[in-house]
Each structure stands twice: as structure tokens, then as C-alpha cells.
Amino acid sequence: MTSIRGAITVEANTSEAILDASKELLCEIIAANGSKNGLRLDQIIDITFSATKDLDAVYPAAAARAMGITEAGLFCVQEMDVSNSLPKCIRIMAHVDIPEKKQSDMVHIYLRGADVLRPDLAKKKLAVAIDGPSGAGKSTIAKEVSAAAGIIYIDTGAMYRAVALHNIIAGTDIKDKEAVEKSLNHISIDIQHDDKKKQRLILNNSDVTEDLRTQKVAEGSSIVASYPAVRQKLVTLQQDLAKKYSVVMDGRDIGTVVLPHAQVKIYLDASLKERVHRRIHELELKGEPAEYDSVLQAIESRDERDMNRTHSPLLRAKDAHYIHSDGMTINEIANEILKEIQKI
Ligand code: DC
């Protein structure tokens, strides 16, 4: 006996939507498993369905009965209400008897927004691109979304910061484009994740994650990010990561250049005033003194460079979902993005 897993998200808590989605999921599981013509219904021993708390209009198992699955044991349960979990979702576990197949031959099916639940099993990697200006809250939100969606978060700004840090330590003038571009031959960047899923940036075999968040490095990163050779190296690295893993990636050019085919693109914006306040709050939490005018000036000059450079400036992709986050809580923004993921 082997088991097959699957999940699908449902548009609405109506009998019709729940039955349609359950049927779609069962059909895909049947078609993808078994022999050439798919699974025979008499090979199904039992199916357990679970539904999130927001789905109670009908038992999903009714779809199996309607499809003629009459012999198998069917059972439905309601799931626990885990905060930030994928809403309106039906999960399935089916036990089947296919003597010629092993457990590792089973094809598990995750459809619509549910592919975020098991990106390792999903056929196509999921890419969520979040772009926006400095201080719009991208990294905070991207971390929330990646945790809720169960996929990894890639902070691309940290890579530009690492190039700046390397040059600052080496005493190179950051404004010397040729010197910075030459330094790329001596820079290796690797992204790792610790056991709390936090990104660690490894620069030439050293973990420099904690050294990237200074004002000097921020300023330098915005300058080196305008150099084409720097962008070329880092964009390739980012694209390679998105080929290997399902990702939430944030930056300035993710939806436009790095992952133009991302299934979900978000442009996260906030007013200059709000961004300055958030940055001051962030600095104060770290015990660093923050003066309104100097923070304002630093953000304005980064905006100016990031938005007006020749190569891959910060742009809102045509197909990006726009969120103006002034007055919104972290949860509200994350939920809006999770809803976009659910629509895929
Ligand atoms: O998001 P951040 O503040 O850590 O980014 C640091 C700098 O790197 C920012 O000023 C712009 C640049 N950057 C970029 O040009 N493209 C990206 N994908 C990410 C960051």
C-alpha cells in the first residue's frame, strides 16, 4: 500500500466551489498515478480529506462519491486554525494499492495556490517577486509571506550590500566604477539559511550578515548597484536560486528583470514620510540615534539613484499588484499578498 498527497485552494465557501475543486484534485491524482490509463477506482483503499476552518459548505468527500468512488473509505476532518496558514484549502491523503509501484513512484498533486504548501513536490517552482523603494517594508513582509507559504526568502539587497562591504573593507573608492567591477573577480557570494530560516550572507566564506545593515554600506550598495557588471553577476546568482527553489524574492528589479515570469509580482510602496518614520523606528530599536532630516536625506538620495539609474532602475512591473502600505499592518499586507498567491 502507498499513499498519495494532494491539496488545492478553493475560490469560495460554496458547495459548488468546494465540490469542483475536490473533483479537480481527485481527477489529477487519478490521472497522474497508477498505470498508463491512471489509477483504477478499485485501487483506492481510502481517502482522507481535510478542509481549513473557512470551508464548511459541504463535505469534500461528496465529490468522490459523485465520481463513482463508492468502495473506498472516505473521511473528512476540519483542520486546526493555524495563524497565517493558507486559507480556503482542501488537503487529501489517499491510500492506494498498486502492487507494481513503490511509494517513491507516487505523484503528489498540489494545485492552484496550494503549490506553496509543498514546493518540493510542485511541478513548477513558485516565484513571488516583491519590489519597491527603500524602507517600504519589503523584507519584513517578504519574511512573513515566505514563512506562511513555506518557501524560502531571498533578500537581494543583501547581495548588493555585500559587494559594497567588500569594497569598503578593501579601501576601494565605491565611486570608482572600474575598481568595483574589477573587485568582482575576488568576490564570491553564497546564500544560506539558518535553522530559523533566516538568510545568511556568506561573502568569501565568511558570514557577514550582521555587517550589512550600516548606513555606510546602505549608501555604498545603492552606488555599486548602478554598475552593469555588478548587476549582471548578482542577477545570474538570483536567477539560479529561483531555478532551484520556490522563492519570495525582494529587491528593485525582481519583477522586471530577475524573474519576469514570476507567478506573483508585488510593488510595495509607502509614502516618503512613512518610510522615514519606519527607518527611524528600526534604527532606534537597534539603539542607534536617528535624526529625521538625515534619515530623510539618506532615503531621498537612495530613491534618486535607485529610480533613475540607467541599468535596471526601480520600476513597477506592468503586471505587478500595487500595495500602498501607509496605515496597513504587517499582517494586512502579508495577507493581501497571500491572497494573490492563492489566485494562481
Ligand atoms: O533593499 P536594500 O536596501 O537592502 O538594497 C540595498 C541597495 O541595493 C538599494 O539601494 C538598491 C540596490 N538593490 C538593487 O539595485 N536591486 C535589487 N534587486 C536589490 C537592491
Residue whose C-alpha cell reads 562591504 in the numeric block: 165
For the stretch 225-280, pLDDT in tens is 999 999 999 999 999 898 878 899 999 999 999 999 999 999 999 999 999 999 99
User: How many angstroms separate the CA atoms of 328 and 300, rounded?
Assistant: 22
pTM for this one?
0.69
pLDDT value of position 107: 86
Is 27 a known active-site residue?
no
Atom 17 (ligand 1) nearest CA: 251
Helix and strand numbers (H, E) in the chain are: 10, 13
Atom of ligand 1 nearest to the CA of 134: 3
Name 247's bridge partners.
127, 152
- Phi, then psi, of 163 in degrees rounded to 5: -65, -40
- Cell numbers given for 91: 488537503
For the stretch 165-207, pLDDT in tens is 999 999 999 999 999 999 999 999 999 988 777 899 999 999 9
Q: Is the pLDDT of residue 123 over 60?
A: no
- What separation in angstroms does the CA of 235 have from each of 10, 193, 254? 35, 19, 9
- Among 24, 27, 118, 200, the active-site one is 118
User: How many angstroms separate the CA atoms of 22 and 69, rounded?
Assistant: 13
339 alpha carbon, distance to own chain's centre: 13
- Among 59, 89, 91, 267, the active-site one is 91
Q: How far apart are the first and last CA of the chain?
A: 33
Pocket test for ligand 1, best of 130, 140, 143, 160 (most atoms within 8 A of CB): 160
User: How many angstroms separate the CA atoms of 302 and 281, rounded?
Assistant: 18
